[in-house]
Structure 1
Amino acid sequence: MNSTTVRSLLVRGMLAGLAAGLLALVVAYFLGEPRINAAIAFEDSHSHEHEMEIVSRSLQSTAGLATGVLIFGVCLGGIAALAFCFALGRVGRFTPRATAVLISGAALLTVFLVPFLKYPANPPAVGDHDTIAKRTTLYFLMIALSVLLAVAAVILGKRLAPRLGAWNASVAAGAAYLFAIGLAYAFLPAINEVPADFPPTVLWQFRVSAIAVQLTLWTAFALSFGYLAERVLTPRPATSAAEEANSESDTAARTAASAG
């Protein structure tokens, strides 16, 4: 794949990420923001200290949310497009659309879902301010482990394929990945800083909304980028385009003649 094609796919990946970010923004606003407001109300009712607001809540929930989600979508779209360029033709004989879906599904699983199950997202009022650095480090460590183990599983599957066959090799590699993730879950420290009287429904709904945002983002990206990538990599033959143009001109000529 030449540099011009990679550049074209990168641009389309960022555009697809932007479009996916717009859809994810809608989900985040209507599903996530009400739960954040409920968590903030709980925090205010249990705190006697009132810090001065540097950025208003209304700005955070509108322009701030939009900026964060859209930039996140564009960045992930660009990274996923580069991963697509590397994976196309190397992970199997898949079409561009199928490869885009595969890359998006793998990203959703390894970058979000696996770390989320160990260290789920929490709304405001959940978590000790003194452990922010520790929690952030553990979360990014879990992401790094998940991605590296997934890459190792793919390599293992490709090496086992000649002896076991593609299906059995894939099952074995997947089992090895799950086993390694299970060990990571067991040895990394657990974090549970949810206040005893925090509404469990708000916590559950907030985490479901976080999953919904990521699911929307990656599904929309897979579909839009797959379509754009296919148009770049499998362009319409010039002969068919010329035939279509001739057909359109003939139709216009017949229409003009009948009108005359």
Structure 2
Amino acid sequence: MNSATVRNLLVRGMLAGLAAGVLALVVAYFLGEPHIDSAIGFEEAHAHGHDHGEEEELVSRSLQSTAGLATGILLYGVAFGGIAALVYCFALGRVGRFSPRATALLLSGCALLVLYVVPFLKYPANPPAVGDGDTIARRTGLYLLMMVLAVLLAVAATLFGRRLAPVLGTWWATVAAVAAFAVVTGLAYAFLPSVNEVPEGFPGALLWRFRLSAIALQITLWTGFGLVFGELAQRLLRPGAVPSRPPAAAATTAR
């Protein structure tokens, strides 16, 4: 793949990430923010030992939930879109005989699974008021460790499946690779320390709804990126495969 094509895919990846970020922003604002407000209300109602009401608020909650939220998600979408496009350039043609569109969807699904779902199942997202402020660094480190392990295990499973393919065939090699990934991931779950810092009295339904909204945001982000970037990549790499206007419509336009 020449540098011009890589550059074009990079630009399209960033645009697709921006579009996916807009979709994720809608989900975050309407599904996630109300639960964050409820969690903050719980935290303020149960605060003790300090007069939080007199503390100066550096950034207002309204600004955080609007401009701050939009800036963070859209910048994240552009950044991850560019990185995903570069990974796509490497993966295209190496993961099977898939079309550019199908490769983009496959890559997005794998990224969602490895970068979010696997770490999330061990260390799920928590709203405000859940978690000890003194353990933020430890919890962040454990989450990043789980993410790195998931990426390494996914790469190892892919190489394992490719080695088995000539012997077992593509189908059973894929089954064996997925099973090996699941088993080793389960062992990582068992050996890594657990984190349970939900305060007493915190509503379980609120925690559950917040985590569902966090998953919905990531699904929207990666699915939107896969669909948009897949279509853009398809039009760039295989323009002849994109349906053109019907002959009748073309003749009408020519008149």
> 5+ unaligned residues in a row in structure 1: which ranges?
253-260
1:38 aligned partner, one-letter code: S
Counterpart in 2 of 1:161?
165
Match of 2:33 in 1: 33
Residue 159 of structure 2 corresponds to residue 183 of structure 1: no
The one-letter code of the counterpart of 2:184 is A
Q: In structure 2, do the counterparts of structure 1 residues 197 and 10 end up closer, same or farther at CA, with 3 Å as the change threshold?
A: same
| Alignment counterpart, residue 94 of structure 2, candidates 87, 90, 96 | 90
Q: CA deviation at 1:80?
A: 1.0
Deviates more, 1:57-66 or 1:227-236: 227-236
- Which residue of 2 is the match for residue 18 of structure 1? 18
Q: Distance in 2 between matches of 1:87 and 1:5?
A: 14
Q: Provide the residue aligned with 1:58 in structure 2.
A: 62
Q: Which has the larger radius of gyration?
A: 1
User: Residue by residue, what CA displacement relative to the aligned partner does 1:157-196 show, whole Å, maximum 9, x if unpaired?
Assistant: 1111000000000000001101110111011000000012
Distance in 1 of aligned mates of 2:206 and 2:214: 12
Q: Following TM superposition, by how much is the alpha carbon of 1:208 offset from its aligned partner in structure 2, in angstroms?
A: 0.2
Matches within 5 A, 1:218-257: 218-236=222-240, 247=251, 251-252=254-255
Structure 2: runs of 5 or more not aligned: none
**Which letter does structure 2 place at the counterpart of 1:7?**
R
Per-residue deviation, 1:235: 2.1
Partners of 1:194 and 1:85 lie apart in 2 by 42
Q: How does 1:61-80 map to 2 (within 5 A)?
A: 61-80=65-84
| 2:158 paired with 1:147 | no
- Kindly state the Cα deviation for residue 246 of structure 1 after the two structures are TM-superposed: 8.3
Normalising by structure 2, we get a TM-score of 0.94
3-state SS of paired residue (2:195): coil
Q: Which residue of 1 aligns with 2:109?
A: 105
2:46 alignment counterpart:
46
Which whole-Å CA distance do the structure 2 matches of 1:231 and 1:114 have between them?
A: 32
SS at the partner of 1:203? helix
Deviations 1:31-63 (A, max 9, x none): 000000000000000113213211000000000
Equivalent position SS for 2:126: coil
* 2:202 matches 1:198: yes
Counterpart of 1:192 in 2: which secondary structure? coil
- TM-score, length basis structure 1: 0.92
Deviations 1:126-167 (A, max 9, x none): 000000000000000000000110011111111110000000
CA distance in structure 1 between the partners assigned to 2:250 and 2:21 by the alignment: 40
Q: Does residue 213 of structure 2 align to residue 209 of structure 1?
A: yes
Q: Which amino acid aligns with 1:19?
A: A
What CA distance in whole angstroms lies between the structure 2 residues aligned with 1:78 and 1:103? 13
Aligned position for 2:129 = 125
What secondary structure, in the 3-state scheme, does the structure 1 residue paired with 2:184 have?
helix
Equivalenced residue count is 248
Deviation, 1:236, is: 3.7
The Cα of 1:107 is off from its aligned counterpart by: 0.4
Code of the residue aligned with 2:29 in structure 1: it is: Y
Local SS of the residue matching 2:239 = coil
Q: What percent identity do the matched residue pairs reach? A: 69
